[in-house]
Amino acid sequence: GSVTSTIVQRNPVFSTINNDDLIYFEKILGPKKVIQDHEELQTANTDWMHKYKGSSKLMIQPENTTELSQILEYCNSRCLAVVPQGGNTGLVGGSVPVFDEIIVNTRRMNSIISFDKVSGVLVCEAGCILENLISFLDKEGFIMPLDLGAKGSCQIGGNISTNAGGLRLVRYGSLHGTVLGLEVVLANGSVIDMLGTLRKDNTGYDLKHLFIGSEGSLGIITKVSILTPPKLSSVNIAFLACQDYISCQKLLFQAKRRLGEILSAFEFLDAQAMNLALHHLDSVRNPLPSSIYNFYVLIETTGSNESNDKEKLEAFLLHAMESGLVTDGALAQDFSQASSFWHIREVENLINIICMITLNMLILCTRFQGIPEALMKAGAVYKYDLSLPVEKMYDLVEEMRIRLGGAANVVGYGHLGDGNLHLNVSAPQYDDAILAQIEPFVYEWTSRHRGSISAEHGLGLMKAEKIYYSKSTETVSLHYYEG
Ligand code: FAD
Ligand code: MLT
Ligand code: ZN
């Protein structure tokens, strides 16, 4: 059964599609972009976790802004509900219908419009798959300012709509900083051109920010202008073990000071997360097999001077070992080792291998990896994506473990460098008794520590009603302000 139908009722204000609607859509788009095929709809109705399931009978795949605008204008006039969908990798149930909404999928809007090598500004359509943008830029000597394990499927429009964080935020900041412009289509079909390519523009309100992270609630993003950093030649990756959480924190403090401008990722995982990865992912090998440790930290540096960067990292590691913060560690010696370290946490970072194997093969063998995939293989998973003060963050994992006793496996990992904990509870199957132990406790705890109940995944259906744990009533009412 679906998790959703018990939560909300279908709003009777919305119409249901009829034959005239289908005739109109086919007239505008032609038959190929109006999809009623059962299997395709099954996939599009179901989220990545197989947790949320809608019952839409129709998916529309417009090819450009004009088509999308016509479709939305029509749906608005007919009071037909729609759900925007990109790569459908979202983790909060926002990318699939709740009931029978029309799925508006952006996958056909996937052209690169322009790239300026001097400014590093890329302009593209919203349906471009993140990994395709990464490989396009690689050939130009640039990278995307964001990277995440879902890159083989997620789209830049979906990334911006969720304000995705990911593995590089610690270095390049959030999309609120790197997105320079957007084109969006509002629900009534109006096209809003905010597709600037300027770093600086203080003429009036910067309305594009409203669309970054608004999960399709204000309109559909159709084009994107984004600032991309140059690709730097020297990348180093260390996989380290810490005996306790306080050491992870101190290591982060040291890394920010001693590695400074070359630090490009600081990820952590606990022993439970490591066990899951080792157990469920065939290709994962333990880089530190001599013992079991309580915590692991993956540090990546990216810079332009190989010998300087290595020297810096080695000095940092030596200091960390000598001061007892790090108990064991491995520094990747070659590309394949570096990829295998990343593999544990997320999909490996394969930019340089793209030259060696074809893109199709690459996507086939690396589609999803890392802890999120291991959790999926382990059974049902309750996912919490929290921003918390770093010093308090792991207390929540420990308290949750005590609450649940042996009933479920409590796993902690995440983007420690950004204060973002992924608290996951893994159980053989979904169980209301387990859920009752987790919620509202996890939200109350987060609220008490002035954290965010959604650091980077968004609210979706899962947390739409929970917004009050992180935002004041006055702030939420501004969301719905009607003048
Ligand atoms: P979808 O899942 O299709 O949609 C997400 C939301 O955006 C929905 O509400 C949808 O309605 C809306 N939407 C989609 N496209 C548009 C558009 N063009 N205009 C308006 N609204 C739109 N997230 C992180 O932040 N950091 C991570 O490190 C991370 N790692 C992940 C790893 C794995 C293995 C997986 C499966 C997911 C991960 N995610 C992560 C979550 C997910 O990948 C991101 O939220 C991603 O940005 C979603 O992009 P998408 O194209 O798949 O969007
Ligand atoms: C991650 O960092 O791995 C993603 O946000 C997905 C997840 O939380 O599982
Ligand atoms: Zn994450």
Structural domains present in the chain = 19-105 (3.30.43.10), 112-227 (3.30.465.10), 234-370 (3.30.70.2190), 380-479 (3.30.70.2740)
Quote the tokens at residue 437: 């132990």
Q: Sign of the CA dihedral 426, 429, 430, 435?
A: negative
317: how many CB neighbours lie within 10 A of its CB? 18
Summarised one tens digit per residue, pLDDT across range 74-128 is: 999 999 999 999 999 999 999 999 999 999 999 999 999 999 999 999 999 999 9
Is residue 387 within 6 Å of ligand 1 at its C-beta? no
The model's confidence at residue 2, banded by pLDDT at 50, 70 and 90, is very low
Task: Please give the pLDDT value at position 120.
Answer: 98
pLDDT for 186 equals 98
Is residue 275 within a helix (H) or strand (E), and if so which, with residue range?
Answer: helix 271-280
Q: What percent of the chain has pLDDT over 70?
A: 94
10, two tokens = 């279908």
**Residues of 145-158 as b/e, b for ≥16 C-beta within 10 angstroms?**
bbbbbbbbbbbbbb
Look up residue 68 and give its amino acid. L
What is the distance in A from the centroid of ligand 2 to the CA of 167? 9
* DSSP string over 420-453: EEEEEEEESS--HHHHHHHTTHHHHHHHHTT-BS
Ligand 1 in reach of 443 Cβ (< 6 A): no
Check residue 480 and give its pLDDT. Answer: 82
Identity of the amino acid at 194: M
| Dihedral angle, C-alpha 113, 118, 120, 124, nearest 10 ° | 0
Task: Report the C-alpha gap between 378 and 373 in whole angstroms.
Answer: 9
Dist. CA 6 → ligand 3 center (Å): 28
The pick from 48, 148, 159 for probing ligand 2's pocket by mutation, whose C-beta has the most ligand atoms within 8 angstroms, reads 148
Ligand nearest to the CA of 219: 1
Sheet with 263-270: strands ordered across:
328-331, 234-242, 295-303, 263-270, 409-415, 420-427, 380-387
Q: Is 385 in the pocket of ligand 2 (CB under 6 A)?
A: yes
**Tens-place pLDDT, residues 155-190:** 999 999 999 999 999 999 999 999 999 999 999 999
Confidence of residue 369 (pLDDT cuts 50, 70, 90): confident
Tell me how far apart the alpha carbons of residues 199 and 120 are, in angstroms, rounded to a whole number.
11
Cβ atoms of 296 and 268 within 8 Å: the answer is yes
ipTM value > 0.90: yes
Average pLDDT of span 451-469: 97
The per-residue pLDDT for 42 is 98
CA of 460 to the centre of ligand 2 (A): 15
Torsion, Cα 437 443 445 446, to 10 degrees, reads 150
DSSP letter string over 117-138? TTTTEEEEETT-BHHHHHHHHH
**For 198-206, what is the mean pLDDT?**
97
Q: What pLDDT score was predicted for residue 358?
A: 40
Burial of 324 (0-12, 13-18, 19+ CB in 10 A): exposed
Q: How far is the CA of 77 from the centre of ligand 3 (A)?
A: 38
